[in-house]
Amino acid sequence: MIKGKSASETEQSAVRVLQALFPPLLLVLFKALLAPIANGQLASMMVARATALSCQWLMGTCSVNSVTLPNGKSLSSGVLICSVFNLHFTKTFELLICHYGNCQVFVEKCKYLEESKCLGICINTCKLPTQTFFKDHMGVDLYMEPNFEDYSCQFNFGVPPPPIDTDKALKEPCLDICTNARRRRELGSSGGPDGLCPQV
């Protein structure tokens, strides 16, 4: 993080970067026209697929988690979108979207977290701003669950994040590989309260 910037300022800067990646009219139209369909569940399915396809350069290998249909078959949400659009727009369409609209993207090992080696950077420049961006600028709820042991991350589109004070990712200690945490241990300082990352 930039020296002199608070976690909140860093998060706001990251949201602005995400906004700049899209033509402004696209975000406005997506939020106004697509996000309201089936209570945002169609939009959740669409952004899950787009995230998995377009963000591997930053996060590493990722895939759209499958959904289980009532007949027991497993189906990727991207395939589900195609299947749904081949149907006539009937109650069947609405039922499929409503039951399977919460989509997930699984990042096997996040390159961003692995390279930054910092829980605070993950939280303040990725998790919180990405959740904010999707909700505020695309109209899609997103709850990201980074795993700080194996560096995987689960994106849960269509799922609102918990309040900040109850989000378990914000209550994690510094990563073992964090160079600042190692230095604090050498100096006998724990950093934040209870060894939590002081950057969060």
Backbone angles phi, psi at 37, to 5 degrees: -65, 130
Instruction: Give me the chain's average pLDDT, please.
Output: 80
In whole angstroms, what is the distance from residue 176 CA to residue 114 CA?
A: 11
What is the torsion angle, in degrees rounded to the nearest 10, for the CA atoms of residue 196, residue 18, residue 42 and residue 56? -80
pLDDT value at position 151? 94
Stated pTM of the model: 0.78
* Per-domain boundaries in the chain: 7-192
pLDDT digit string, tens, across residues 52-93? 999 999 999 999 885 444 455 554 554 444 444 444 443 344
pLDDT value at position 97? 44
pLDDT value at position 92? 41
pLDDT value at position 76? 53
Burial class (CB in 10 A: 0-12, 13-18, 19+), 125: buried
Output the six-digit token pair for 200: 């969060």
pLDDT value at position 191? 59
pLDDT digit string, tens, across residues 26-56? 999 999 999 999 888 889 889 998 999 999 9
Tell me the β-bridge partners of 155.
Answer: 105, 144
In whole angstroms, what is the distance from residue 102 CA to residue 180 CA?
A: 37
Higher-scoring residue by pLDDT: 170, 83: 170
